[in-house]
Structure 1
């Protein structure tokens, strides 16, 4: 039977974003029960860290994961942040694509306004239970909500709400009753919190798991620098965005549109753009047609513009990275590098790298971060992984060609106003060439310092082995020297041991001096003075041996 177009038309209907993700929850990271628990904890902790930092409060975060039935868990996340005002609570937790970060160009952990509401969606999908929220702004009133999501409309569905007076507390507490599995391994909640403690040493985190309590103490008593919000950069704007901005702007002229809506565009540059595009400076932006906008964009691509400002970025800094690695990994050696800011598609970004070697580290450990958030999944698809595996580690005295085979922890952190994640689950960074280049340069700079340290360490171990060998055969050697030289055995023994100790001290001084010289860029470590010292040392040792044999 032939069907008419009208029959197909009756089947068409609009779907909401909530309805889409209800059927495609794997796109948000909820593709198995173990990972689902991690995603809920991650979204709650990320929100708590963002809120406390923006309010200028040192974070104190409490997490509890408790199995209440077979594969059913209660998750509680509590923070000491500024709290949430009453009217905003339902939409923040019960509406996808609702938040304060998507429309702002500022370094944040969250970007899309999906994360915490997706946790609400997963909870109601698997157990049918609402999310319970308790919030207080410190005014003595505590607001309580039980919320689900109306999937068809993508709107919050308030099951019930209440208010409690006279409570001396400020912050937010979330309670999920959800389906999942708790496991402890490399991609677990515990590992996520450990890496969060490394990249956020200013936070105190207490975690009550089914296996006991873990506390991650605060390592520094100061908050990171507050990043500033910036306007878009012209070199990062595409045609569709430009035409929309032209229609929506409040600017009255094309000149004021260019100088007011974009960063680092002055009057001189704006006049140059208008002139090359053959458009009047006083033209109303709303009257710019699509063809004119396309011409304007072509001109913009060829105009030299200043790079966007970097005060919108807040890297951890070398000392904070090192303190975080020391606090959680207890290595014997640690180093950190922060690269100068760079730009991809008009968005500013910055790369930090830290290497930690030996000590309590027993095997290779690779940690990826974006805006201080650990990335535990999709490692193979990430620009950071491609950068690490693109380095020949043997050049830096480290066993392993593409992946180190020594007790080495690699920490790589990318900060940006807009991190180019490969998917909505925010688990891997897209492989832009400039990003890979910056990550490689940061790692290589750290690795050179590690290579010098390992070279000195192995040289020291070699000399210590030689000294132990001398000492093992000392008695036989002393006896033979005493008989050959017809000298008193005690005198020969004393001078022989003095020779060994003197040689050991000189080697130690050379190693320490070499390490210090290695830290001075641009200076030659192997010069005529060094050769002269070596020659004198050899002559001194020869004279001592000849004296013993006389």
Structure 2
């Protein structure tokens, strides 16, 4: 019986490649529901194009064609003007899970290495069709183009090249063509069009041309020619590491001593802090890293919690900036009023640095159009990327809605023509799930979201107050303009005198009314 059980175990034991795992668990890539799945595809392709172009110092330009060829069956063609992908890397980029350059402690739009390959996997799972890729690159000063037809071998987690040929290209960049079924294009708040619209507000330096399945052509022009500076990789703060992190560092470091490993792999770890750490733990940090025991690593982590460190370096955080957010809002929303703010860096959970940015737009095309009425919308972002799903559990939603908007002149936030923009910037945004659509309500982050939103809300209140005063002044001036001529004319008749020129008097009266309402000095 024991032998039979062992044989059954041997027969049933399997090892899954990353591709096989995500084939069985595609919801972990965000592919749940028809609308969401297509929006996630747009997200992955657009963010990869942005990252590639910006790293090469190129202003991103993307053209997207989405064609419907059957019920819930689409062909997506996505083309960018980035530096292109060298021929030998094309199968890895599009057909290998966990292959990429985003596994560092650096601010990034994406961090899992699953973007393009995840889209190819979804396409293959729903249609069985291969992916077609055209890549143009500059090699030794010469423009080269290659066209490949690929399929993903999920058993081996690698790409199979079905066809390959050299082609002429107009410039550098990548064009990818994918088939999808069981997805749906929608103009809803969670749809692909809205994702592009919000992306352009947070990335005003980009240009996107989108041809949708209904025949509409949308051109989102860039509002800025400034390419964002590239963030720098920064060591993690001591307060944010675990015992497992220290053991992992010790196994893979090239340093000979544990103390030198700590100073080179963690931020703000000086020789003085190393000495303090030795006094707190009693551990000889001159030992070899591989000799470090788990219990000692736990002691070090506990000691970190008792020590005081300088604020972590923020050179690795690149916010959008107040001016750029305002440009993006004006280009897309054409509001009558905007206000923006970028807060100073703060830390959460033991020293992880983050920055919160906020903006508010009022009037014009602000808010979301529901029927004939514009209602308030909360635009949530993390590292410039729109978060279009799971809004209810997000710290951004909680922070914005926690304000008493009546104090800022908004009696009913839900039905106000307002767009509220919030962007969380960090090397380690605390998401609530693998779908990365909702920010965890860390107390420090929640507090900064509230503070940033209050600042722009106060600016809106001042504008609305002046607007109301101007309206009242206009109404008062209209009364004067209507009745002053009548009174002067009748007075002249009663006095049997010639009617005087009253225009200077009228200007003075209406100006006085305006100044009184606005609380300004008559001498200003």
So what's the TM-score if we normalise by structure 1? 0.87
- Whether contact under 8 Å (2:109, 2:383) holds in the other structure is yes
CA deviations 1:370-405 (Å, max 9, x no partner) are: 1111111111111110111101111111122xx453
Residue 476 of structure 1: how far off its partner (Å): 5.1
1:279 corresponding residue in structure 2: 283
Q: Mean alpha-carbon deviation: is it higher for 388-397 or for 190-199?
A: 190-199
* Distance change >3 Å, CA 7–CA 109, structure 1 → 2: same
- Whether 1:125 and 2:122 are equivalent positions in the alignment is no
CA deviations 1:68-111 (Å, max 9, x no partner) are: 23322110111111111222221221122222102x11111111
Match for residue 158 of structure 1 among 153, 157, 160 = 160
Q: Secondary structure in 1 aligned to 2:117?
A: helix
- Whether contact under 8 Å (2:95, 2:151) holds in the other structure is yes
Q: Secondary structure in 2 aligned to 1:109?
A: coil
- Whether contact under 8 Å (1:234, 1:263) holds in the other structure is yes
Residue 157 of structure 1: how far off its partner (Å): 3.2
**Separation in 1, partners of 2:363, 2:35:** 31
Q: Secondary structure in 2 aligned to 1:352?
A: strand
- Whether contact under 8 Å (1:364, 1:409) holds in the other structure is yes
- Whether 1:418 and 2:428 are equivalent positions in the alignment is yes
CA deviations 1:160-203 (Å, max 9, x no partner) are: 14231654521111110111222222222211111111111111
- Whether contact under 8 Å (2:153, 2:160) holds in the other structure is no
- Whether 1:369 and 2:374 are equivalent positions in the alignment is no
- Whether 1:338 and 2:348 are equivalent positions in the alignment is no
Unpaired runs of at least 5, structure 2:
367-373
1:304 corresponding residue in structure 2: 308
Q: Secondary structure in 1 aligned to 2:440?
A: coil
- Whether contact under 8 Å (2:476, 2:510) holds in the other structure is no
Q: Mean alpha-carbon deviation: is it higher for 22-31 or for 110-119?
A: 22-31
Match for residue 179 of structure 2 among 177, 180, 183 = 177
Aligned residue-pair number: 510
**Separation in 2, partners of 1:190, 1:249:** 46
Q: Secondary structure in 1 aligned to 2:151?
A: strand
- Whether 1:188 and 2:191 are equivalent positions in the alignment is yes
- Whether contact under 8 Å (1:76, 1:173) holds in the other structure is yes
Match for residue 505 of structure 1 among 499, 506, 511 = 511
* Distance change >3 Å, CA 8–CA 304, structure 1 → 2: farther
Q: Provide the alpha-carbon RMSD of the alignment.
A: 2.4
**Separation in 1, partners of 2:93, 2:311:** 34
* Distance change >3 Å, CA 489–CA 389, structure 1 → 2: farther
Residue 475 of structure 1: how far off its partner (Å): 5.5
Specify the structure having the higher radius of gyration (Cα).
1
- Whether contact under 8 Å (1:228, 1:312) holds in the other structure is yes
1:32 corresponding residue in structure 2: 33
Residue 337 of structure 1: how far off its partner (Å): 0.3
Match for residue 207 of structure 2 among 204, 208, 223 = 204
Residue 478 of structure 1: how far off its partner (Å): 3.9
- Whether 1:253 and 2:257 are equivalent positions in the alignment is yes
Q: Mean alpha-carbon deviation: is it higher for 66-75 or for 164-173?
A: 164-173
- Whether contact under 8 Å (1:145, 1:158) holds in the other structure is no
- Whether contact under 8 Å (1:277, 1:295) holds in the other structure is yes
Match for residue 458 of structure 2 among 448, 456, 473 = 448
2:371 corresponding residue in structure 1: none
So what's the TM-score if we normalise by structure 2? 0.91
1:295-444 alignment runs, 5 A limit: 295-345=299-349, 346-361=351-366, 362-400=374-412, 403-444=413-454
